């Protein structure tokens, strides 16, 4: 059993896609173990995206992810990390297959609707950045 951190990013929230995205995970057989709407701080955003610090798009990324509320959730299930990444589609929506979340709802790499942890280590770090143990069911 794995847990992964998923964010419906501010563009996904603005487009009223929270329910649609959660439904795709649930229908696949994955479970919501924690869920909340939050406007994240710059500090929290920089920690979340620490691996990208120094890249040319880093400041833009932090500005965007803090531009409005995100729907933060822990998705749990067998191989949840990979299953969620596959459901999300490729990072650049132009390469995401239709049928994936990004392939259906996004066109721009900077505004690609959804985040999902890319491995067990990042999932553990990212979950701690968003949820206390008491918030996880
Ligand atoms: P991921 O979200 O698919 O894991 P990452 O490589 O971890 O992709 O990048 C984090 C986020 O940063 C992406 O979802 C995307 O929104 C943004 N991003 C990645 N590469 C670029 C880029 O070259 N230009 C602008 N934004 C980018
Ligand atoms: Mg990533």
| Residue labelled with tokens 């206390």 | 132
Which tens digit of pLDDT belongs to each residue from 27-63? 999 999 999 999 999 999 999 999 999 999 999 999 9
pTM, to two decimals: 0.98
| Integer Cα distance of 95 and 90 in angstroms | 6
- Nearest atom (ligand 1) to Cα of 115: 2
Please name the residue whose Cα sits nearest to atom 1 of ligand 1.
Answer: 91
Tens of pLDDT along the chain (137 residues)?
Answer: 999 999 999 999 999 999 999 999 999 999 999 999 999 999 999 999 999 999 999 999 999 999 999 999 999 999 999 999 999 999 999 999 999 999 999 999 999 999 999 999 999 999 999 999 999 99
| Integer Cα distance of 43 and 45 in angstroms | 5
Query: Nearest bound ligand to CA 12?
Result: 1
| Residue labelled with tokens 């990208």 | 52
Tokens of 120: 């067990």
- Nearest atom (ligand 1) to Cα of 112: 16
Are 136 and 33 a contacting pair, CB within 8 Å? Answer: yes
Residues with catalytic function? 115
| Integer Cα distance of 12 and 24 in angstroms | 14
Per-residue pLDDT at 8:
99
Are 89 and 97 a contacting pair, CB within 8 Å? Answer: yes
- Nearest atom (ligand 1) to Cα of 49: 10
Per-residue pLDDT at 60:
97
Per-residue pLDDT at 72:
99
Please name the residue whose Cα sits nearest to atom 23 of ligand 1.
Answer: 57
H helix or E strand, kind and range, residue 79: none
| Integer Cα distance of 110 and 65 in angstroms | 10
Q: Residue 41 contacts by C-beta under 8 Å, 6 or more apart in sequence? A: 66
Query: Nearest bound ligand to CA 85?
Result: 1
Distance from the alpha carbon of residue 118 to the mean position of ligand 2, in angstroms = 6
């Amino acid at each position: 059993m794995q847990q992964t951190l998923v964010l419906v990013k501010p563009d996904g929230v603005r487009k009223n896609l929270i329910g649609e995205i959660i439904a795709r995970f649930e229908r696949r057989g994955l479970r919501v173990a924690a869920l909340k709407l939050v406007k994240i701080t710059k500090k929290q955003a920089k920690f979340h995206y620490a691996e990208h610090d120094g890249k040319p798009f880093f400041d833009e990324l932090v500005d965007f992810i803090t531009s409005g509320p995100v729907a933060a959730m822990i998705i749990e299930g067998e191989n949840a990390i990979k299953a969620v990444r596959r459901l999300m589609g490729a990072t650049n929506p132009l390469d995401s297959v239709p049928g994936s979340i990004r392939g259906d709802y996004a066109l721009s790499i900077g505004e690609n609707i959804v985040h999902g942890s890319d491995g067990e280590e990042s999932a553990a770090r990212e979950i701690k950045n968003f949820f206390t143990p008491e918030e996880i069911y």
